[in-house]
Chain A
Amino acid sequence: MTKDKNGASRRQFLTSAAALGAGAVAAGAARAAAPDPLITEVQPWASGFGDPVDAHPYGTPIRFEDDVIRRNVEWLTADTISSINFTPIHALDGTITPQGCAFERHHSGAIELAKPDFRLMINGLVDRPLVFTYEDLERFPRENHVYFLECAANTGMEWAGAQLNGAQFTHGMIHNMEYTGVPLRTLLQEAGLDAAGDLADKWIYVEGADASSNGRSIPMDKALDDVLVAFKANGEALRKEHGYPVRLVVPGWEGNMWVKWLRRIEVMDRPVESREETSKYTDVMADGSARKWTWVMDAKSVVTSPSPQSPITHGPGPLVITGMAWSGHGRITRVDVSTDGGKTWQPARLAKDGENKALTRFYLDTDWDGSEMLLQSRAIDETGYVQPTKAQLREVRGLNSVYHNNCIQTWHVTPDGKAENVEVS
């Protein structure tokens, strides 16, 4: 039986079209109107060849998944060099973000820095300032940890109202990867901290090799706690756009501090008060004063499906409501879901126990009766912190803090299965 390159014969196409028309409202275990030609006729893939093993030395997703890509919003920034794009969280599941569609945020573009050209300097209040090559870093004892990285501005466009229609755009400045790297503590000890004296009031200043530098000040206790100098993510080298060959990993803290293309760490007796911790990444309150050093990302969650980019297409009946939750304070212990805009709540099922400062996947397996829903999720972390509503946040902060919007998100799901980003009373 010969087939054209694209498979289906014309006769087969006509019969499947007929079957589709007849079975459009099929639900449950209803009897099919006619046999399914995808079953009753031999398909080309069941007869001919697929790709050989030498076709794709490094594979990419199948073409049918072309919509699972990073997107950008042109009007957000003056140009695309110092800008942001968004992870397609509406289409992902589990917790690990594929690196190829994990969001990017650069201040002077994604630079190309080869391993032989990489140098990492440690200087300042150390016993001996040091320069490391990439090879040096791989000779220190390594650790592996999964952590979320959330941009401080994630959900920032939603402060004043419901603005962008999709979880990718409202909550997609986030990714979650398994990092391999050397504890920063190990490298600081290599340079020696005796010269720094009492470490309690000391800081480090970290900067990247790119033009923007992205310098940030980090208190020494965090630096010695769980900060990693990472060179692998999800098993392979960091992607260029994520800081190849080496980036800083600052668990639980705002993404801006996860300095990419890391080139220098200076031990200091004071913070630098750099541009990225004065002009930016400071949070204006209603009275015009501003918080600084708002490092931790608080507990947060979002329903990823159903959502505006992931409508219900199957009609009433069994429905999986899913989403993700995370907290910079530690583990997620519980996620509650509401389908009525917060009047009533029920605990969702965590796919597995919450991990420290990492994404947690939750599910609510429901039976949808086809009526409208106002879907919300509410995360609770191990400190007992309960994810607040936007009204609660606004009451403390006003509307202009730009960063750290961890409010409860509402999706309005209509009987036709479509969903919209809304705010509710």
Chain B
Amino acid sequence: EGGGTRFGLGREALPEEVAAWDVDVTPDGTGLPEGSGDVMTGEEVFVEKCAVCHGDFAEGVGNWPKLAGGDGTLDNADPVKTVGSYWPYLSTVWDYVHRSMPFGNAQSLTADEVYAITAYILYSNFLVEDDFVLSRENFTEIEMPNRDGFFVDDRPQTEYAQWRTEPCMENCKDSVEITMRATVLDVTPDDPSGDAPLTETEAAVATPVVE
């Protein structure tokens, strides 16, 4: 359906409005604003605005995400997926930090601060030296270690073809053994009355978004 009906609803978006909301950055750097930031500045900003959750060295605090480390662990029993070990594109780091971090105070960082933080995350992952300056001009020169680690959904070839068969209805197995039990782990929440519901104080932990 190409040329559908026009209803004449809505109004033309103004350039300022598009600029305010269209801030996505694609892997080739399209969408990056002017600006730059170095590792040392990044460290200062990171320690001030990020380290409380992500650690001074981007190593993560408690259950909060690790942003560095985990190199070579993707095929391990317990893979550690970080910016350095897993993320394919640096553009995603810039875009996500700029748009959605710090958690609870998103969209409070300047473009230069985001460049500096991104540089510091690269440094924390041993991908640049401590005098590195990241800018729009050199941004696409950075190649992430796991950039080739992804492939497009291949279930049609690897799964659907072999699982679209008439299934067994009788004598499908000789014997059945129970091999695992959830109650052994015992990590399921108990009766609702035993759980503390989300309280006002818990909900208030996140800083209100600064408009």
| Interface residue ranges, A against B (CB under 8 Å) | 66-67, 69, 71-75, 77-82, 107-109, 121-124, 128-133, 136, 139-140, 161-166, 169, 185-186, 189-193, 199, 205, 207, 211-213, 215, 224, 263-264, 266, 268, 270-275, 278-279, 282, 284, 286-296, 298, 308, 336, 340-346, 374, 378, 380, 383-386, 388, 392, 396, 399-400, 412, 420-425
Contact = CB atoms under 8 A, between A and B. Distances in A.
Contacts of B79: 284, 288, 400
A207 B21 CA distance: 10
Contact of B13 (A129, A284, A420): A129
B96 interface: yes
Contact of A291 (B74, B75, B153): B153
A345 B24 contact: no
Contacts of B177: 424-425
Given A140-B9, A274-B92, A293 B209 contact: no
Contacts of B95: 272, 274-275
Contacts of B100: 107-108, 211-213, 275
Nearest to A264: B21
B96 to A, nearest CB: 4
B140 interface: no
Given A273-B89, A289-B150, A386-B167, A130 B189 contact: no
Contacts of A139: 7, 9
A68 to B, nearest CB: 10
Interface of B: 1-7, 9-13, 17-18, 21-22, 24-28, 53, 62-65, 74-75, 77-79, 81, 83, 86-89, 91-92, 95-96, 99-100, 103-104, 106-107, 149-155, 158-160, 163-165, 167-173, 175-183, 185, 187-189, 191-192, 195, 198, 202-203, 205-206, 209
A383 B173 CA distance: 26
7 contacts: A189-B4, A213-B100, A271-B26, A279-B87, A341-B176, A345-B170, A378-B167
B2 to A, nearest CB: 7
Nearest to B173: A343
Contacts of B12: 128-131
Contacts of B181: 162, 412, 420-422
6 nearest CB pairs, A to B: A288-B74, A288-B75, A341-B176, A189-B4, A78-B63, A211-B106
A180 to B, nearest CB: 17
B58 to A, nearest CB: 14
Contacts of A384: 164-165
B75 A336 contact: no
Candidate in B3, B27, B153 with the most chain A CB atoms within 10 angstroms: B153
Contacts of A128: 12
Given A266-B22, A273-B89, A343-B173, A380 B167 contact: yes
B149 A288 contact: yes
B152 A81 contact: no
A65 to B, nearest CB: 12
B93 to A, nearest CB: 8
Contacts of B17: 121, 131
A131 B9 CA distance: 9
Nearest to A214: B100
Contact of B64 (A73, A78, A274, A392): A78
A282 to B, nearest CB: 6
Nearest to A400: B79
B67 to A, nearest CB: 10
B64 A272 contact: no
A259 to B, nearest CB: 13
A72 B206 CA distance: 18
B63 A77 contact: yes
B9 A284 contact: no
Contacts of A270: 26, 28
Given A189-B5, A278-B89, A343 B187 contact: no
Contacts of B5: 186, 189
A240 to B, nearest CB: 13
Contacts of B107: 211
A422 B177 CA distance: 10
A286 B74 CA distance: 8
